[in-house]
Amino acid sequence: MKHAAPRPAGDLLLQPAPRAGVLLPLPLSGAYDYKLPKGTNAARGLLVSAPIGPREALGAVWGAAEGSVGDNRLKEAVPLAGLPALSHKLCDFVDWVASYTLSPPGMILAMVLRSAKAFAPETMRTAYVRGGATPKRLTPARARVLAVAEDGLARSVPSLAEEAGASPAVVRGLIESGALAATQLPEFAAFAVPDPALAAAALNGDQRRAADALKADVAAQRFAVSLLDGVTGSGKTEVYFEAIAEALRRERQVLILLPEIALTVQFLERFAERFGCRPAEWHSDLSSKERTRTYRAVMNGDARVVVGARSSLFLPFRALGLIVIDEEHEQAFKQEDGVIYHARDMAVVRARFEQCPVVLASATPSLETYVNALSGRYAHRRLYGRHGAATLPVTRLIDLRHEKTEAGSWLSPPLRDAVSATLAAGEQAMLFLNRRGYAPLTLCAGCGHKMTCRDCSSWLVEHRYRKRLACHQCGYETATPPRCPACNAQGTLIACGPGVERVAEEFGVLFPQARVAIASSDTMHGPLQTQAAIRAMARREIDVLIGTQIVAKGHHFPQLTLVGVIDADLGGSDGDLRARERTFQLLHQVAGRAGRAEKPGLVLMQTRNPADLVMAALAAGDRDAFYEQERVFRERAGAPPFGRLAAIILSSHDSVAVQEAGRTMARAAPAAKGVKVWGPTPAFYHLLRGQTRERLLVQAERNVDVQAYLRAWLAAVKVPNKVRVAVDVDPVSFF
Ligand code: ADP
Ligand code: ZN
């Protein structure tokens, strides 16, 4: 046997292949062992392509390999070329969220690796500039295209065609003739860099103090949580813009989380006015291309400011220097499907891993945040009053028990009078009702049959303009039937209660001369019409806006002086722990729309419970009185944030199996000090999308490790495969 020449010690060929535990973006219990090409530095976060079954998956080196399987039996994962790894901070965050939410870590990694294409090698794209040749035949369309190309910018065929108002064939003809020449550009246009110095506001005293404190946190690159607390119009946005400017000066990235991405156009424009360009966006409506472009730019640091929905929290920022969560109390931050998590709470955790400050902005903070600010755990930065001449509106209650209103009428005489006066003064009014459609319930006057969803335990909501009944839980729709499906009588179906469309109908009869629009997320209008209605209101092209909670948020209507709340009791005391808080927040926010400029505002709320805590606090304009009583109430009840809650939701198409699984789980609940288990009970929507749902609720004292309790419990029971088990730690809704 011939001996190979001796090789120097440390030669790669003599060493075994490096191996590592690789986490894949799949619902697996943990990382899987792979070998890596020789010479690979298997650092945590290194992105690899790993074979799994018949396909390749994107994954990340997560830690040391655990098994002792021989090299020949391990599959090889190959590092992706030329790409940054995920930071250790981000990997640690993924593990933390997985553990907190009791989710497989791979499912959290899947939220990080949201754009698979972003990891493919960067390609070039062909664009065209003016070429040397002159076309023989110069039609008007050709001339327009060449005129567009005159500025020397390289453009794609579609954008040349669009800008010139010509067909792509015209552009291609010019390319063939040599009048346009091809050039290669990077696949994606670069992001503009916001200019921190462009248009800073001259802050007032409160604003300056708050901004300075936030800027100091940004400058120190330290973890700190601040509640930026002030009524709408107090300048919270201006203040956190200063913190953003500070982060930009220090070349750090910023994440701004907003609750409803549909409402960001105004925000993006305002940002552009302050910083000279729009920020990058991240939400579910992005095209796959935009997604790839933004993801890459976030990863390499070129996207300096990202505005996004909750999923943007998992983006791989290169140098995150600040997180802002605007309207931090909004429930939209809670993700209820798949991995159930609260983006506000997880943002605070991410900031801790990144060692950067986080700002929670709200006029009506969540009780959790309020208590944290009160106890000093969060810094409390308060802005008192509105900026400039704007004053806070006066709120008055209209006691519907004493106001005589005829049946089928939703506007009481005092509200009608106030609308008349407002219109006579040439000012604007808004009527608010948090109910979409025409009527929330349709029933048969003959037999009493209620029209309900085929798949859910919810009423079908009539949408009269579209002549349809719709389920607002699952989207099921059907034409309004001519006969009652139960007793077959004709013409007996009647609408019960008001939705915004019905209020608009009555309004039209009362005030035929007023210019009015409806804004609701799903009327016949749709989101575009809603945006148009809101714009028309802001430009004073209409007199009255009638809307659902979509009108409550963030809009600035300078001429709006009257807000009428049709039913302030809606969503009131229905046993839900947070019902009072939510009602207060929503009504406070709606009221805040009135009198934002120089003219004072009036808010009229129709209620049957004027003595209720929420109503009394609103009428008195005493926000802190509400918070204080709610705090005491929660503390006595051991409710969050003074105690902890977690829900287990079981669901299945097999209703018997779900109920059986619920009982099995309840019997298996471990006894533990400071822990109570409630249920199983049918969930609020005990039928949802055709699935039967049961809930169990864990209530624990604050020092209890709820996750450990849940893990032990879940490990002790075997639930049949057809029953899905979801864990909701810190539930905010109870559906
Ligand atoms: P909030 O975010 O608290 O609702 P904004 O930051 O949107 O308040 O401020 C409300 C309005 O007042 C905006 O039009 C804003 O530009 C204006 N504003 C607030 N503070 C100032 C200031 N210091 N100088 C000039 N305009 C201001
Ligand atoms: Zn339904």
pLDDT, tens digit, for every residue of 430-445? 999 988 888 888 999 8
With both helix axes pointing from N to C terminus, report the angle between 140-149 and 157-164 in degrees, rounded to the nearest 10: 120
Atom of ligand 1 nearest to the CA of 207: 23
The ligand placed nearest to the CA atom of residue 199 is 1
* Conformation bin of residue 610: beta by default, left when phi > 0, alpha when psi is -120 to 50: alpha
Alpha carbon of residue 627 to chain centroid: 25
549, 259 Cβ separation under 8 angstroms: no
Mean pLDDT of 8-35: 80
Distance (angstroms) between ligand 2 centre and the Cα of 208 equals: 50
What whole-number distance in Å separates Cα of residue 667 and Cα of residue 678? Answer: 11
Tell whether ligand 1 has an atom less than 6 A from the beta carbon of residue 201.
yes
Greater confidence (409 vs 218) lies with: 218
180, 131 Cβ separation under 8 angstroms: yes
What whole-number distance in Å separates Cα of residue 509 and Cα of residue 495? Answer: 18
Atom of ligand 1 nearest to the CA of 383: 3
Tell whether ligand 1 has an atom less than 6 A from the beta carbon of residue 204.
yes
Mean pLDDT of 390-418: 87
- pLDDT band, residue 203 (cuts 50/70/90): very high
| DSSP conformation class of 77 | P
Per-residue pLDDT, 530: 78
The fraction of the chain above a pLDDT of 90, given in percent, is: 55
Residue nearest to atom 20 of ligand 1 (CA): 235
> Residue 692 is encoded by which pair of tokens?
């039967």
Residue nearest to atom 9 of ligand 1 (CA): 235
Distance (angstroms) between ligand 2 centre and the Cα of 112 equals: 32
Identify the sign of the CA torsion 512, 516, 520, 524: positive
The partner residues of 444 in beta bridges, in order of sequence, read 493
662 pLDDT more than 70: yes
471 pLDDT more than 70: yes
Per-residue pLDDT, 526: 63
Burial (0-12, 13-18, 19+ Cβ within 10 Å), 140: exposed
582, 571 Cβ separation under 8 angstroms: yes
Per-residue pLDDT, 3: 45
Q: How many CA atoms lie within 13 A of 129 on its CB side?
A: 8
> Which of 206, 232, 238 to mutate for ligand 1's pocket (most ligand atoms within 8 Å of CB)?
238
For 457, phi then psi, to 5°, come to -90, 60
Tell whether ligand 1 has an atom less than 6 A from the beta carbon of residue 589.
no
- Closest by CA position to 281, among listed 249, 305, 302: 305
What whole-number distance in Å separates Cα of residue 649 and Cα of residue 681? Answer: 10
Tell whether ligand 1 has an atom less than 6 A from the beta carbon of residue 592.
no
Residue 291: how many other CB atoms lie within 10 Å:
18
* Conformation bin of residue 625: beta by default, left when phi > 0, alpha when psi is -120 to 50: alpha
The ligand placed nearest to the CA atom of residue 685 is 2
Express each pLDDT in 569-591 by its tens digit. 876 545 567 888 888 888 888 88
Per-residue pLDDT, 475: 78
> Mean pLDDT for the chain?
88
- pLDDT band, residue 6 (cuts 50/70/90): very low
Long-range interactions of 409-417: CB distance < 8 A, separation 24+: 409/506, 410/498, 410/502, 410/503, 410/506, 410/566, 410/567, 411/503, 411/506, 411/507, 411/510, 411/564, 411/566, 412/606, 414/604, 415/564, 415/604, 415/606, 416/510
Residue nearest to atom 23 of ligand 1 (CA): 203
Distance (angstroms) between ligand 2 centre and the Cα of 520 equals: 19
Tell whether ligand 1 has an atom less than 6 A from the beta carbon of residue 200.
no
Per-residue pLDDT, 734: 67
Mean pLDDT of 141-163: 89
Mean pLDDT of 540-547: 93
Q: Which residues of 49-63 are buried (b: 16+ CB within 10 A; e: fewer)?
A: bbebeeeebbbbbbe
130, 180 Cβ separation under 8 angstroms: yes
Per-residue pLDDT, 7: 47
Mean pLDDT of 160-174: 91
- Range among 103-117, 315-329, 518-532 with highest mean pLDDT value: 315-329
Number of H helices, E strands in the chain: 19, 31
> Which of 232, 236, 387 to mutate for ligand 1's pocket (most ligand atoms within 8 Å of CB)?
387
33, 117 Cβ separation under 8 angstroms: no
Per-residue pLDDT, 216: 98
What whole-number distance in Å separates Cα of residue 693 and Cα of residue 659? Answer: 8
The ligand placed nearest to the CA atom of residue 390 is 1
362, 227 Cβ separation under 8 angstroms: yes
- Range among 57-66, 448-457, 466-475 with highest mean pLDDT value: 57-66
Mean pLDDT of 526-553: 83
- pLDDT band, residue 232 (cuts 50/70/90): confident
Atom of ligand 1 nearest to the CA of 203: 23
- pLDDT band, residue 100 (cuts 50/70/90): very high
The ligand placed nearest to the CA atom of residue 363 is 1
Mean pLDDT of 168-191: 88
Residue nearest to atom 10 of ligand 1 (CA): 233
Per-residue pLDDT, 686: 77
264 pLDDT more than 90: no
Per-residue pLDDT, 5: 45
Q: Which residues surround ligand 2, an ion (CB under 5 A)?
A: 453, 455-456, 471, 473-474, 476
Mean pLDDT of 341-345: 97
Distance (angstroms) between ligand 1 centre and the Cα of 234 equals: 6
- Closest by CA position to 228, among listed 347, 328, 312, 353: 328
Mean pLDDT of 161-175: 91
For 693, phi then psi, to 5°, come to -130, 135
Per-residue pLDDT, 564: 93
Per-residue pLDDT, 574: 53
What whole-number distance in Å separates Cα of residue 240 and Cα of residue 684? Answer: 39
Tell whether ligand 1 has an atom less than 6 A from the beta carbon of residue 234.
yes
Atom of ligand 1 nearest to the CA of 230: 3
The fraction of the chain above a pLDDT of 70, given in percent, is: 94
> Residue 10 is encoded by which pair of tokens?
């440390």
Distance (angstroms) between ligand 2 centre and the Cα of 690 equals: 8
Q: Where are the alpha helices (DSSP H) in 177-305?
A: 205-220, 236-249, 264-275, 288-300
- pLDDT band, residue 372 (cuts 50/70/90): very high
Mean pLDDT of 469-497: 88
> Residue 133 is encoded by which pair of tokens?
């040749």
